[in-house]
């Protein structure tokens, strides 16, 4: 169960398949667009974490020139999926080595034409794409092959590249340009290695495409093949890129694929989760892990993971809380280097968080809701467009979703607890914790008569209800931050290490520390009501209680935004797990009975309008010994990028792409939910909760410098320490 395959051609699935058959890594994302596709089909070669802004449009990640474009003409007639209906078509993804393959057969004027192609993004060289293309006809034909670089780029808020230059270099194609805002030089170099003799070869420019053109007489049943090697550069010198491309071209496509596959085999050896009982479940979970492996930050130290991964410019290519809460657990278990990179990304973004807080009139660190390089917040005050009027809608994600700073601290604690290693505190993480605590001290409100510290005017994980007071999730996270400060103080004091004390003095935190000591036990934490339900925020229980289907029946547009002043704003319908997310993240503070009551209350009122939501409900269902409730929610997370069953628009804004946080949630549900792994900093424990469809689960994890093999079935459970390869 290592191959994702789609048989048959459906134009309606072109855009979805661009996500489904995604390849690449955190420096280069190649959508699963076929060779003949252009920007109309959302073909894109994305440069994650490289950003640009055009005028007053949204700042987003940059798409490079597309070097994958290839089209053929047979007896003067263009043959492609965009011009001819195929007799047979299949597209597949080999998850073992992250390579994409297509096979298409046409019958045109009684000539059968078969095209096979394969490509992958190398893990051995930065931003290198290797491809193979083959054409075969059952009769002698006049064949024209056009392959090169498409310079007409698909952008959401572009065009981002200007001053485009085309150059022929010893038969190769080279295109360069620069970004509008920071003048990054973006270039693409393509070398074509033909395994046929052409009657004529030239280089042409046709309809914004820079192409090598080959004309030849193709013999009956004699394949015409070529390989191509494309280097994409960001501020690199041409000689370096060209040298890399030519070195790999000399090695050849298949030999380089073998070396590339060896690296992927090692990745899978450390991270695969094997499920017995249902092959489709195994495939879906493995596909989720595939996407997380694509995004391993170890390839780009001190980087983090955009909310839509490497699938394009959606959500501005920015990093959200998704990474710390939903993806980090996978890397903690399998790739500690990547886990540390996620933490260090936030450490390096501290200056940006300090600046953002200052801009809003606060002290401390207010992290970006949509983080780009240096902690720059790309989030807009108008982050949604009204689907009816096409007018921008004021949202409060940027300025009121303050739990993002605490999410960063939660991730730091998770890293420390898993590794049993506090050293990251001296690498900047302690300063992050202190500055986040200072921000909450300044943002919060102390009610003298009630003698409690409250957090007003926020947006919790449920984004449909804005500017609420005492969101239970947010308040719990703030208390955790204050507790973290005091735990750090105690740790360094017990170690007779003066690092904490020196840092306190350097950043003038003495008075703040005293406030934290006084306030930590006065942070307002909501108690359950008489039914055992925790109110999501002040006044939530007084909102209209309506059915989700009833609410949606009143929508006047399929892409209508429900939040803010929308249909859900004055109801109890919530977008995603909020209280339930809090219950899972702080599961050691709540008993199963309370979790179950809240699960039952909130689940039927949750629209699951975010793909983050299902996994939190699945995890809490497992903690309350209800794996059968968890199972469909697990499948919802694991299959979202296979089915494409997710929201494509928020209001009038395109939000399509892959969902790596859902992939992370699927992994968490399998490992921490069904297998019941417990890892709260001490010894590993197992409390299995397998659904009927799963007979056993086995996987490896790394913890505190050791590696363990975990096996869980309905009959037994084992934790075995094994040697680290």
Tens-place pLDDT, residues 87-139: 999 999 999 999 999 999 999 999 999 999 999 999 999 899 999 999 999 99
Cβ proximity of 407 and 413 under 8 Å: no
The rounded distance, in Å, linking the Cα atoms of 220 and 218 is: 7
Using alpha carbons, select from 311, 318, 385, 387 the residue that is nearest to residue 16. Answer: 311
Say if CB 205 and CB 147 are below 8 A apart: no
Give, in order, the Cα–Cα distances in Å from 442 to each of 365, 445, 450, 515.
10, 8, 19, 11
Out of 3.10.310.10, 3.40.50.2000, 1.50.10.10, 1.10.10.10, which CATH number does the structure's domain 272-722 have? 1.50.10.10
Question: Where do the H-state alpha helices sit in 238-304?
Answer: 238-251, 253-271, 279-294
Question: What is the three-class DSSP state of 608?
Answer: coil
Give the C-alpha separation, 166 to 150, whole Å.
Answer: 11
pLDDT average, residue stretch 210-237: 97
User: Do 642 and 284 form a contact (C-beta atoms < 8 A)?
Assistant: yes
pTM: 0.96
Higher pLDDT, 683 or 410: 410
Residue 441, pLDDT > 90, answer yes
Complete DSSP assignment for 424-452: GGGGTHHHHHHHHHHHHHHHSEEETTTTE
Across-strand partners of 90? 7, 103
Neighbours of 553 (CB within 10 A): 9
Helix axes 510-519, 429-443, angle to 10 degrees: 70
Residue 395: which pLDDT band, with cuts at 50, 70 and 90? very high
C-alpha to C-alpha distances, 219 to 17, 78, 139, 164, nearest whole angstrom = 33, 18, 7, 39
pLDDT given at position 16: 94
Length of the chain: 725
Provide the pLDDT confidence category of residue 677 given band limits of 50, 70 and 90.
very high
Name the catalytic one among 463, 466, 489, 560: 463
Sequence ranges of the chain with CATH classification 1.50.10.10: 272-722
Tokens at residue 262, please? 């060896």
Residue 503 burial by CB count (10 A; 0-12/13-18/19+): exposed, middle or buried?
A: middle
Q: For the residues 643-663, what does the mean pLDDT come to?
A: 79
- CA 651 to centroid of chain Cα atoms: 21
Q: Which residues contact 307 (CB under 8 A, 6 or more apart)?
A: 315, 318, 319, 320, 322, 323, 370, 660, 661
Asked whether the predicted pLDDT for residue 195 surpasses 90, the reply is: yes
Q: Which residues pair with 147 in a beta bridge?
A: 70, 212
511 is catalytic: no
Map tokens 């900093």 to a residue: 681
3-269 maps to which CATH number?
2.70.98.40
Q: Where in the chain is the domain with CATH 2.70.98.40?
A: 3-269
Distance of CA 456 to the CA centre of its chain: 30
For residue 399, what pLDDT is reported? 97
Query: Are the beta carbons of 31 and 54 closer than 8 angstroms?
Result: no
Q: Read off the pLDDT band of 509 (50, 70, 90).
A: very high
The interaxial angle of helices 336-348 and 350-359, nearest 10 deg, is: 40
Question: E strands within 383-455?
Answer: 384-385, 392-393, 445-447, 452-454
Confidence of residue 725 (pLDDT cuts 50, 70, 90): confident
Q: What is the pLDDT of residues 131-190, one digit of tens each?
A: 999 999 999 999 999 999 999 999 999 999 999 999 999 999 999 999 999 999 999 999
Question: What is the rounded CA–CA span in Å between residue 3 and residue 118?
Answer: 14
Residue 276 and residue 694 in contact, taking contact as beta carbons nearer than 8 Å: yes
DSSP-based three-state secondary structure for 440: helix
Q: What digits encode the pLDDT tens for the residues 303-349?
A: 999 999 999 999 999 999 999 999 999 999 999 999 999 999 999 99
Q: Which pLDDT does position 679 carry in this prediction? A: 82
pLDDT at 652 over 80: no
């Amino acid at each position: 169960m290592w191959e994702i395959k789609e048989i048959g051609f459906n134009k309606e699935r072109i855009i979805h398949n661009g996500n489904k058959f995604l390849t690449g890594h955190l420096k280069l994302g190649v959508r699963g667009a076929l060779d003949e596709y252009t920007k109309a089909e959302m073909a894109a070669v994305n440069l994650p974490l490289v950003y640009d802004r055009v005028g007053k449009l949204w700042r987003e990640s940059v798409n490079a020139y597309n070097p994958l474009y290839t089209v053929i003409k047979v007896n003067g007639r263009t043959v492609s999926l965009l011009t001819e209906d195929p007799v047979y078509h299949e597209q597949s993804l080999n998850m073992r080595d992250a390579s994409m393959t297509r096979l298409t057969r046409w019958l045109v004027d009684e000539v059968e034409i078969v095209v096979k192609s394969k490509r992958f993004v190398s893990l051995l060289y930065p931003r290198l794409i290797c491809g193979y293309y083959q054409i075969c006809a059952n009769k002698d034909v006049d064949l024209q092959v056009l392959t090169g670089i498409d310079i007409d780029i698909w952008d959401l808020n572009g065009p981002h590249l200007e001053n485009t230059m085309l150059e022929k270099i010893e038969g190769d194609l080279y295109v360069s340009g620069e970004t509008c805002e920071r003048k990054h030089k973006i270039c693409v170099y393509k070398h074509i290695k033909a395994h046929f003799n052409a009657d004529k070869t030239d280089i042409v420019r046709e309809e914004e495409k820079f192409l090598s053109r080959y004309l030849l007489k193709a013999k009956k049943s004699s394949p015409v093949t070529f390989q191509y090697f494309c280097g994409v550069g960001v501020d690199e010198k041409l000689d370096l890129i060209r040298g890399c491309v030519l070195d790999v071209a000399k090695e050849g496509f298949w030999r380089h694929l073998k070396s590339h596959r060896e690296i992927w085999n090692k990745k899978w050896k450390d991270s695969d989760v094997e499920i017995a009982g249902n092959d489709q479940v195994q495939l879906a979970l493995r596909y989720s892990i595939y996407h997380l492996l694509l995004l391993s930050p170890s390839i780009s130290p001190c980087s983090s993971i955009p909310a839509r991964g490497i699938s394009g410019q959606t959500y501005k290519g920015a990093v959200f809380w998704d990474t710390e809460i939903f993806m980090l657990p996978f890397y903690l278990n399998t790739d500690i280097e990547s886990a540390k990179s996620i933490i260090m990304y936030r450490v390096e973004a501290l200056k940006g968080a300090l600046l953002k807080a200052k801009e809003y009139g606060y002290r401390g660190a207010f992290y970006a809701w949509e983080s780009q390089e240096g902690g720059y917040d790309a989030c807009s005050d108008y982050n949604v467009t009204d689907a009816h009027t096409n007018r921008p809608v004021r949202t409060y994600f940027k300025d009121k979703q303050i739990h993002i700073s605490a999410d960063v601290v939660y991730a730091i604690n998770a890293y420390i607890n898993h590794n049993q290693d506090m050293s990251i505190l001296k690498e900047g993480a302690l300063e992050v914790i202190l500055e986040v605590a200072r921000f909450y001290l300044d943002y919060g409100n102390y009610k003298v008569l009630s003698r409690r510290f409250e957090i007003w005017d926020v947006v919790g994980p449920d984004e449909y209800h804005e500017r609420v007071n005492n969101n239970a999730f947010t308040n719990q996270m703030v208390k955790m931050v204050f507790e973290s400060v005091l735990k750090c103080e105690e740790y360094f004091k017990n170690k007779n290490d003066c690092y904490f004390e020196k840092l306190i003095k350097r950043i003038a935190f003495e008075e703040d520390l005293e406030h934290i000591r006084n306030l930590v036990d006065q942070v307002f934490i909501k108690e359950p009501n008489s039914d055992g339900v925790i109110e999501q925020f002040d006044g939530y229980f007084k909102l209209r209680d309506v059915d989700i289907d009833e609410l949606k029946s009143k929508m006047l547009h399929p892409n209508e935004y429900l939040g803010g002043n929308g249909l859900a704003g004055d109801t109890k319908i919530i977008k995603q797990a909020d209280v339930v997310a809090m219950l899972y993240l702080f599961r050691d503070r709540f008993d199963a009975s309370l979790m179950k009551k809240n699960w039952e209350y909130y689940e039927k009122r949750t629209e699951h309008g975010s793909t983050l939501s299902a996994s939190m409900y699945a995890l809490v269902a497992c903690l309350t010994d209800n794996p059968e409730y968890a199972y469909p929610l697990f499948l919802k997370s694991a299959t979202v990028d296979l089915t494409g069953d997710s929201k494509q628009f928020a209001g009038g804004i395109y939000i399509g792409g892959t969902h790596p946080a859902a992939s992370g949630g699927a992994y968490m549900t399998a490992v921490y939910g069904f297998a019941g792994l417990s890892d709260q900093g001490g010894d590993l424990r197992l409390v299995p909760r397998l659904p009927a469809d799963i007979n056993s689960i086995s996987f490896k994890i790394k913890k505190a410098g050791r590696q363990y093999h975990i096996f869980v079935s309905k009959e037994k459970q084992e934790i075995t320490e094994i040697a680290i390869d």
